[in-house]
Amino acid sequence: LKPSIKRRPDARPREIIDAALDVFAEKGFAGARLDDVAARAGLSKAAIYLYFEDKIALLDAVIQDAAGGAIESVAALSANDRSPVSPLLAQLLATGARTVLHTRLPLVVKLVISESRAHPEIGRRYLATVAGQILPAAKALIERGIASGEFRQIDAELAVKSIVAPMVLAAIWRSVFEPLGALRLDVEQLASQHADLIIRGMRKA
């Protein structure tokens, strides 16, 4: 909080986190070397310790950092209260597609999948902040649709998974398989067609 000399007000942690996400996603947490993180961030390895207690504290920061952005996206949905649900779901998937395409959340998802077993606290924190926000929000939407007669009587909890699963798949596809040479996945098309299929599937009659 001291602007001190002429210096940007510490973009440092940002840069380190960004670099770390890249390296962690590429090599895995245990396989990543802080030397590489430092090099990519343009710092010395020792400098990382000025901003982060630990290698694992850095992992935590990387994941929590991404979590923040993800949640905001969904907040908007809960607001709209009385409109029909179907367009909102379509919009949810479209937003998901854009997030998959234009943010680094896919890398974080892969990272969480990879490291949660070995570092449960980190997994739990992510589960609480991300999954714990998005899934209930979506579930509420579906329940509203059922209540309003827009949808048939279905299991809302499971329906949520049916809806979001392709976006998870897309995140993995892009962060894992495309770098391997797999065919590029058209995420927005997938989101759009999936919304269409699922909404028809849930509709009454």
Partner DNA sequence: CATGAATGAGGTTTCATTCAT
Partner DNA sequence: AATGAATGAAACCTCATTCAT
Does residue 190 interact with a second copy by CB under 8 A? Answer: yes
- Which of 47, 131, 137, 140 touches a second copy (CB under 8 A)? 131
DSSP strand E in 34-87: where?
none
169 binds, among DNA, a second copy, none (CB under 5 to 8 A by kind): a second copy
Q: How many helices (H) and strands (E) does the chain have?
A: 10, 0
d(CA 104, CA 67): 11
7 binds, among DNA, a second copy, none (CB under 5 to 8 A by kind): DNA
Question: Which residues of the chain form contacts with DNA (CB under 7 A)?
Answer: 1-8, 12, 32-35, 43-47, 49-50, 54-56
**148 or 189: whose CB is closer to a second copy?**
189
**DSSP class per residue in 170-201:** HHHIIIIIGGGTPPPP-HHHHHHHHHHHHHHH
**140 or 176: whose CB is closer to a second copy?**
176
**144 or 194: whose CB is closer to a second copy?**
194
Binding residues among 81-120 for a second copy as defined by CB under 8 A: 110, 112-118, 120
CB distance 156 to 139 below 8 Å = yes
34 binds, among a second copy, DNA, none (CB under 5 to 8 A by kind): DNA
Q: What is the dihedral of CA 174, 180, 186, 188, to 10 degrees?
A: 0
d(CA 202, CA 186): 24
d(CA 185, CA 128): 29
5 binds, among DNA, a second copy, none (CB under 5 to 8 A by kind): DNA
Does residue 57 interact with a second copy by CB under 8 A? Answer: no
Please work out the total of residues on this chain that contact a second copy, with binding judged by CB under 8 A. 53
